[in-house]
């Protein structure tokens, strides 16, 4: 189904695919000997798949991309903020200002635009804004933001203030609708440790409800108009939103003595019913021990692309547990394609652009590029 076509050396775990063939925020790791000690330098580049450098960046915070524009989070020294795909400067920041950009993810139903969360720092302090690709402020935020937890669902921005609370804004009117606090979920036990329940990530949006996964493996349904929690389901460790079948699918590894039990949990969003399937035998046949799933897991058509850990193959003491990449068909609930890593281990979530998949082999510091087979 897919074949590896390229390995790009000295890459970092943080990267973005601007479009097929153009990669953003590759950090070239360069080691030099200084005063009898090894020093590691990071050179950030916007590059093509063929490793032709479009743009060099020495800024502290790596790029995010919207359409043909690349946003560079700038420190106090650097003036460069926005470039085009040719590496030409479009916007410069003012002296004494600093920016950090974060892509807003989620389902933007009927809305073609993409937005960024901007942390703006100047002599007056810090503030967060939602901006468009022309750096116009779409929404001013008068509260702190838990970095990385901002999502857009149709006409709504959902923004975490802390890991225990989130806020909804109505996009057309810029109105703050409600705050939802999840502190009442208390604590839970994980590997004999007592931890506080926090927001893990936003899973999806359907029929005027937002679905949020908590760290205690609880999936909650929140009414978009009131912020009230209307339903909740347990045993949902890692989830994806299967739009075509109007369900949320989660996978969980359970231990029973020496046996490993893989279970699939599905929640029907129309009936609110939860169904559990034991898929241990099927996963054992595929040498799958556990799936790596979170909000960044891409779903293209009927396929969910994710990293898996192998079950039977021994641990490589140079790299750790064996891993692979797979395409899981949400229509058939079967794996249509697997790729086993012979050396190293995948350390990030795959990114899909066009007919290509990009994923980092963290042990080797290589970005691997797969291309869909033509036959």
pLDDT at 319: 64
SS3 label, residue 253: strand
pLDDT at 349: 85
Query: pLDDT tens for residues 266-323?
Result: 999 999 999 999 998 898 888 888 888 888 899 999 999 999 988 666 666 666 678 8
pLDDT at 111: 60
User: How many CA within 13 A on the CB side of residue 114?
Assistant: 17
Q: Which helix (H) or strand (E) holds 152?
A: strand 150-153
Per the CB < 8 A criterion, the answer to whether 48 and 367 are in contact is: no
DSSP 350: -
Low-confidence ranges of the chain (pLDDT < 50): none
pTM as predicted: 0.87
pLDDT at 80: 76
pLDDT at 324: 93
What the block records as the tokens of 20 is 């097929």
Closest by alpha carbon to 222, among 231, 213, 214?
Answer: 231
What is the chain's length? 375
Radius of gyration for the chain, computed over Cα atoms and rounded to the nearest angstrom? 22
pLDDT at 62: 64
User: How many CA within 13 A on the CB side of residue 100?
Assistant: 10
Q: What is the DSSP string of 38-76?
A: EEEEEEEEEEETT--EEEEE--SEEEEEETTEEEEEP-S
pLDDT at 61: 63
Burial class (CB in 10 A: 0-12, 13-18, 19+), 62: buried
């Amino acid at each position: 189904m897919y074949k590896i076509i390229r390995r790009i050396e000295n890459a970092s775990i943080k990267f973005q695919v601007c479009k097929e063939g153009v990669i953003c925020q590759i950090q070239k790791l360069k080691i030099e000997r200084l005063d009898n000690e090894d020093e590691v330098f990071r050179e950030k580049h916007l590059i093509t798949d063929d490793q032709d450098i479009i743009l060099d960046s020495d800024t502290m915070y790596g790029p995010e991309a919207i359409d043909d524009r690349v946003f560079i989070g700038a420190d106090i020294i650097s003036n460069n903020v926005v470039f085009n795909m040719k590496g030409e400067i479009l916007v410069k920041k003012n002296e004494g200002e600093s920016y950090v950009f974060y892509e807003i993810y989620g389902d933007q139903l009927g809305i073609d635009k993409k937005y960024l969360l901007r942390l703006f720092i100047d002599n007056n302090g810090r503030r967060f804004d939602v901006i468009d690709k022309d750096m116009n402020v779409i929404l001013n935020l008068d509260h702190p933001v838990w970095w990385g937890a901002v999502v857009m669902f149709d006409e709504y921005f959902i923004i975490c203030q802390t890991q225990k609370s989130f806020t909804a804004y109505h996009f057309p009117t810029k109105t703050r609708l409600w705050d939802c606090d999840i502190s009442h979920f208390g604590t839970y036990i994980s590997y004999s440790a007592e931890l506080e329940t926090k927001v893990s990530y936003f899973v999806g949006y359907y029929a005027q409800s937002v679905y949020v996964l908590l760290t205690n493996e609880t999936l909650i349904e929140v009414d978009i108009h009131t912020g009230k929690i209307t339903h909740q389901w347990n045993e949902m460790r890692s989830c994806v939103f299967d739009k075509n079948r109007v369900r949320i699918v989660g996978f969980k590894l359970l231990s029973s003595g020496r046996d490993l039990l893989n279970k699939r949990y599905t929640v029907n969003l129309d009936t609110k019913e939860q169904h559990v399937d034991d898929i241990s035998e099927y996963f054992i046949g595929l040498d799958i021990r556990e799936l790596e799933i979170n909000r960044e897991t891409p779903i293209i058509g009927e396929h969910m692309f994710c990293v898996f850990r192998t079950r039977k193959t021994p641990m490589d003491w140079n790299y750790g547990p064996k891993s692979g990449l797979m395409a899981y068909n949400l229509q058939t609930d079967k794996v249509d394609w697997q790729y086993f890593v012979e050396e190293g281990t995948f350390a990030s979530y795959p990114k899909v652009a066009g007919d290509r998949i990009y994923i980092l082999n963290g042990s080797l510091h290589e970005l691997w590029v797969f291309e869909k087979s033509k036959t």
